[in-house]
Amino acid sequence: EVQLVESGGGLVKPGGSLRLSCAASGFTFSSYGMNWVRQAPGKGLEWVSFISASGTYIYHADSLKGRFTISRDNAKNSLYLQMNSLRAEDTGVYYCARAGWELLGDFWGQGTLVTVSS
């Protein structure tokens, strides 16, 4: 059974940093691209970042302006999102998802809540 479990969310002050993790199991993690998606309270889904299976290709949403970095450790079956210079508008639930061909996510984690507030 495919499982994706996010962790690392919490309350952080504006300008602060946070590192999210996504632990994968039930499939060959090193064979799949992965995505981060976020959802602000009461809003729609917003794609954040993609990383290819080997980590060779990385894409980020333009709105992030270089503040976020996606990475992975295939030996640990883990996906990460380093978030710097956090702003109030970064508040929301962050999901990791397993990517397919042009498909953002065939399986999703349950999400982790990030709150940016003073």
Partner 1 sequence: SDVLTQPPSVSVAPGQTARITCGGDIIGSKSVHWYQQKPGQAPLLVIYDDSDRPSGIPDRFSGSNSGNTATLTISWVGAGDEADYYCQLWDSYTNHYVFGAGTKVIVL
Footprint of partner 1 (CB under 8 A): 35, 37, 44-47, 50, 59, 61-62, 95, 97, 100-111
DSSP 15: T
Residues 116, 107: Cα–Cα separation, whole Å: 27
Written as six digits, the tokens of 21 are 């993790």
Comparison of 16 and 45: residue with beta carbon closer to partner 1? 45
Is the distance from CB of 116 to CB of 90 less than 8 angstroms?
A: yes
By beta-carbon proximity to partner 1, the closer residue of 42 and 118 is: 42
Collapse the DSSP code of 63 into the 3-class scheme (helix H, G, I; strand E, B; otherwise coil) and give the result.
helix
CB of residue 52 vs partner 1: minimum separation in angstroms?
Answer: 11
Minimum distance from CB of 108 to partner 1 (Å)? 4
Minimum gap (Å) between residue 87 Cβ and partner 1: 21
Cβ closer to partner 1: 46 or 89?
A: 46
